[in-house]
Structure 1
Amino acid sequence: MTRIEVLRGDITTLAVDAIVNAANTSLLGGGGVDGAIHRKGGPKILEECKAIRNRQGGCATGEAVITSGGNLNAKFVIHTVGPVWSGVDHGKLDVLLANAYRNSLALALQHNVTTIAFPNISTGIYGFPKPRAAEIAIREVQNFLTKQPTIAKVFFVCFDEENFDLYETLLTSRR
């Protein structure tokens, strides 16, 4: 049995221990998956995000914080901030995206999460090239899972067909 699975659909509907939110640094919601999680999860998530902001001033790119799942089927939401693709050092952006996955998984481990679902971080409005982002995501999750048997299942939840096909192809080639 593989510990990584690719799904196509809406991450907010999954019954898992934690879903990962592709958040912005303010933690106050936004568009895409971030907006969907805040809308469906209800005001409790926003209240907890505001408390985190008051305590530490938001969430830096590559870092992760955790809240309850509010009205979602998930116990927790792990909010991580991926990098915005731009003309700057692409190697640095790769590291920041890798950190977003690693820090999310480390936080999951601290909260005894055994099932976790990731969206395609930074590939929407942040413009990170989808093939490059998929490579980084799969590499980081596979590396983490080889060292940590606690997490039983990781889902990559793709909203669009292009990301779904990319993840399926990459995972099939690595099995």
Structure 2
Amino acid sequence: MEFNLPNGVKVELVKGDITELEVDAIVNAANSYLEHGGGVAGAIVRKGGPIIQEESREWIRRYGPVPVGGVAVTSAGALKAKYVIHAVGPRCGREPVEKIKDAVANAVLKADELGLSSVALPAISTGIFGCPYREAAKLTLEAIKEVAPRLRSVRRIIVCLYTDELYKVFESIFKEIFK
């Protein structure tokens, strides 16, 4: 499913493995310390190689923890992408779920700042961070719609969902937001 925004940005919803996409950057649903053990983060390091974790630790040594809603960037190792943008989403129940919107917006804006044309995002905070799918979908897609008019280089934004259940929820919200 896809939608073209007036400023030439295409937003796509796909079901699949984000590590297999041919895009300039993939977004990792990260924790503040960029330790990539499980979920999307673990899959990215397993496929991209240990360099991603090594660069993440170096980033933390230099700059400290990434705040909720913030981002950090590393290379993508052996992945098809050039970069991994690590976006820290909220831990639902402990931090405001609305921070998903900040994480998504900052990830897409970072891709634009890097001069990239395509970026793929997962469903940030819906795994071990426990955010409800519907709320996460709404916040993710609203963030994309709001930042799209400011983009200079990003022309393709993919929201990549790993399960049928996540895809169906995002699809229903996608139809509401991108009528």
TM-score normalised by the chain length of structure 2: 0.90
1:126 pairs with one of 109, 129, 147: 129
Q: List runs of 5+ in structure 1 lacking aligned partners.
A: none
Partner of 1:170: 173
Instruction: Measure, in 1, the Cα distance between the counterparts of 2:33 and 2:153.
Output: 31
Unaligned runs of 5+ in 2: 5-9
Q: Which residue of 2 aligns with 1:78?
A: 85
Computed over aligned residues only, the root mean square deviation of the Cα atoms, in angstroms, reads 1.4
Q: For residue 74 of structure 2, what is the amino acid of its counterpart? A: T
SS of residue in 2 equivalent to 1:120? coil
Match of 1:147 in 2: 150
- Matched residue pairs, number? 171
Asked if the contact 1:24–1:30 (Cα under 8 Å) also holds between the matched residues in 2, the reply is no
The SS at the match of 1:93 is coil
TM-score of the aligned structures, taking structure 1 as reference length: 0.92
SS for the counterpart of 2:120 is strand
Corresponding residue to 2:112 among 83, 87, 109: 109
Distance change >3 Å, CA 110–CA 147, structure 1 → 2: closer
Structure number having the greater helix percentage: 1
Moved over 4 A (4+): none
Amino acid at match of 1:141: I
SS in 1 for 2:160: strand
Corresponding residue for 1:64? 71
Query: 2:97 aligned with 1:93, yes or no?
Result: yes
Aligned-residue sequence identity (percent) comes to 36
